Structure 1
Amino acid sequence: MRTKKLLLTGAHRLAILAYIVFALFPLFWLLKVSVTPNDLLYTEGVRLWPSRTTFEHFEFVLTHSASPIFFRNSLIVSGATALVVTILASLSGYALSRFTFRGKYWIVALMLVTQMFPLVMLVAPIFKMLSPLGLTNSLTGLVIVYTAFNMPFATFLMQSFFDGIPKDLEEAAMIDGATQFMAFRQIILPLTLPGIAATLGFVFTAAWSELLFALMLISGNDAATFPVGLLTFVSKFAVDFGQMMAAGVMALIPACLFFLLIQRYLVQGLTAGAVKG
């Protein structure tokens, strides 16, 4: 019995280790190619680390390309989208969790239906809607589109957190003279900080890595985001993998830093949001 348990534990750990290697190896390869000189990329063959390293790709990306502009645009769009979506999702999620009103079922059903359409079939209609308003080739247009597509998931996520908080807390606060909004702002929101962190993290990452709408709605470098900017390293006849991978490493930094800042709340949020109290 003990031997069987040890074998099972070992198998579980081996599976976890294999998954970690599978998940992290592409990131390792990204870093490896980004510090490999161009003359070694195609001559050394397959090896875990180059015989000689260089930071010339990073230097080029920072000083001789439009990557800093792409970086700034992505930060603005992702940050604004995450902030707007989290605020709106908190309000709408609270309403769905606490109130009963006519049409509530149909609103939820409509939000679910919007998640069933492939995004590619919506590009042309959205472009035709935004173009007369002057919102194509602008960061504002991207924020609006990203907000619309992230709202349903963020709303359901926040609703799951509000469902796990007893209504007695609000009722006690209102008995003491607080309004519904005061109870929401001063009591409920602080208790849902893990959920807010989880929502911020998911929405920020989704906006940061989005390519389809950024590619179709943006036509110039002034409003291009980082995923679109990565395509500038691809020409008609060649691909500069070193510079592209260096830009990819730089693109990972903000998302990693963001998750490091909110990781404590994020872990609590992912576990708490999965269970309704």
Structure 2
Amino acid sequence: MTTTPDATTAAPVVRAGSAPRHATRPPAHRRPPLGRLVGKALLSLVALAVAVVWAFPVYWMLISSLLPNVRLTSGAPTFWPTRGSFDNFGAVLDSGSFVPALRMSLAVTGLTVVAALVLAFLAALAVSRFRFRGRRSFILAVLIIQMLPAEGLFIAQYKMLSSTQLLNTVIGVSVLYAAAVVPFTVWMLRGFVAGVPAELEEAAMVDGLSRTQAFVRITLPLLAPGLVASGVYAFLQAWNEFTVALVVLPADSAKTLPVWLRSFVQTSASREVDWGQVMAASTLLAVPVIVFFLLVQGRMTSGLVSGAVKG
């Protein structure tokens, strides 16, 4: 009598051309080579050292703003603000000239950012989406304008604002700042506009939207990161600019913060620079930039695909 093996004792059937399942399974825990671990550790140490070198001036400015000038001018450096105070910040705010300079910088920077974004956005749309006579000449002119040194235009800019009674005014400085920022902003936005296919608007128009509605609902959300990035560039250029403001704002009553900081350093009656107050003023000058970045950093990457997909 012959017996047949039951299902529990039958040998597994291996198909032709296939290997056992356990033979191709990768090892569960495979450690990377020692050399790779050492290389990653060295790169991490180098990155940490670069970060410390980059952040140390900011840290030194902050701790110096909390120390009196006597300790800052002593021979022994202080790396921790023991017994520090906010007296330097109080002296800067009580000087009477900081608030007008802050108001002037905010007004100039705001007008520059708005004007630069509007003009550069329209120019980038025209260059990227339309073919017209003089298009290449316009692009070449934008490149040539960027090559001109700013110092070579000081006399012409001063005479232009003087003849139009715009010296020591917010509008005059904003016009010069916007003219300096627009060329590079056009190139930035041109890349973003060229990266958005025109077929998205055409598909929206097929669905019943007008050209304006298709642009506002589809294209504009996709261009939001480019507008934010261009706005950040325009903000930094206008907020930190010093030389043009020094030329076209000769009056003491009309100064932006960088020019005010220079005059604030030089107004000491004893000819001794109070570095604690200078560092406090520099910290206050950097606060609006930090606030601006905190407001826009979440929008730098948002809107990349919003509006491109319906439903």
Q: If the length of structure 2 is used for normalisation, what is the TM-score? A: 0.82
Say whether 1:73 aligns with 2:104.
yes
Judge conservation of contact 1:146–1:207 (CA < 8 Å) in 2.
yes
Cα distance in 2 for partners of 1:67, 1:78 equals 16
| TM superposition shift of 1:176 | 4.2
Instruction: Name the counterpart of 2:278.
Output: 244
Relative distance call for 1:181 and 1:247 in structure 2 (3 A) is same
| Native 8 Å contact 1:70 1:229 kept in 2 | yes
Maintained 8 Å contact 2:72/2:78: no
Q: State how far apart, in whole Å, the 1-side matches of 2:156 and 2:182 are.
A: 19
2:190 corresponds to 1:156: no
Q: What is the TM-score with the length of structure 1 in the denominator?
A: 0.91
Do residues 88 (structure 1) and 122 (structure 2) align?
no
Q: Which region of structure 1 is more displaced relative to structure 2, 4-13 or 213-222?
A: 4-13
1:125 maps to which residue?
156
**1:203-238 CA-partner distances (Å, limit 9, x unpaired):** 111100000111110012332100001012222833
| CA distance in structure 1 between the partners assigned to 2:167 and 2:47 by the alignment | 45
**Is the 2:224–2:302 contact (alpha carbons within 8 Å) kept by the matching residues of 1?**
no
Residue 203 of structure 1: which of 234, 237, 242 is its match? 234
Give the aligned partner of residue 175 of structure 1: 206
Tell me whether 1:98 sits opposite 2:132 in the alignment: no
Using the alignment, how far apart are the partners of 2:215 and 2:190 within structure 1? 13
Write the deviation string for residues 151-208 of structure 1: whole angstroms up to 9, x where unpaired: 0111111111111111111112333454444432332111111111111111111100
Give 1 or 2 for the bigger CA radius of gyration.
2
2:291 to 242, 257, 262: 257
Shift of 1:88: 1.7
Q: Bigger relative contact order, structure 1 or 2, given CA contacts below 8 A and separation 6+?
A: 1
Decide which moves more: 255-264 or 165-174.
Answer: 165-174
Pairwise CA distance, 1:69? 0.9
What residue number does 1:185 align with?
216
More helix by share: 1
Is the 1:233–1:240 contact (alpha carbons within 8 Å) kept by the matching residues of 2? no
Gaps of 5+ in 1: 273-277
Residue-by-residue CA offset, 1:232-260 (whole Å, 9 max, x unaligned): 22228332211111011011111111111
Aligned amino acid, residue 156 of structure 2:
P
Count the aligned residue pairs: 271
Give the alignment's Cα RMSD to 1 decimal.
Answer: 2.0
Query: Following superposition of structure 1 onto structure 2, how do residues 207-226 of structure 1 map, counting pairs within 5 Å?
Result: 207-226=238-257
Asked if 1:27 corresponds to 2:61, the answer is no
**Other-structure match for 1:275:** none
* 8 Å Cα contact 1:73/1:224 also seen in 2: yes
Q: Is the partner of 2:266 in helix, strand or coil?
A: coil
C-alpha distance in 1, partners of 2:91/2:237? 27
Higher mean displacement: 72-81 or 6-15: 6-15
Distance 2:184 2:46 in 1: 30
Task: Measure, in 1, the Cα distance between the counterparts of 2:131 and 2:67.
Answer: 60
SS in 2 for 1:222: coil
CA distance in 2, matches of 1:267, 1:183: 21
Gapped regions of structure 2 (runs ≥ 5): 1-31, 306-311
Q: After superposition, what is the alpha-carbon deviation per residue over 1:48-103, rounded to whole angstroms, capped at 9, x for unaligned?
A: 12442121110011112301111111111111111121122221111111111111
Of the candidates 40, 43, 48, which is equivalent to residue 12 of structure 1? 43
- Separation in 2, partners of 1:263, 1:41: 35
Name the structure 2 match of 1:36: 67
Query: What residue identity is the alignment partner of 2:196?
Result: I
Identical aligned residues as a percent: 37
Q: Which moved more, 1:243-252 or 1:229-238?
A: 229-238
The answer on whether the counterparts of 1:81 and 1:207 sit within 8 Å (CA) in structure 2 is yes
Cα deviation, residue 37, structure 1: 0.9
Counterparts of 1:86 and 1:35 in 2: how far apart (Å)? 38
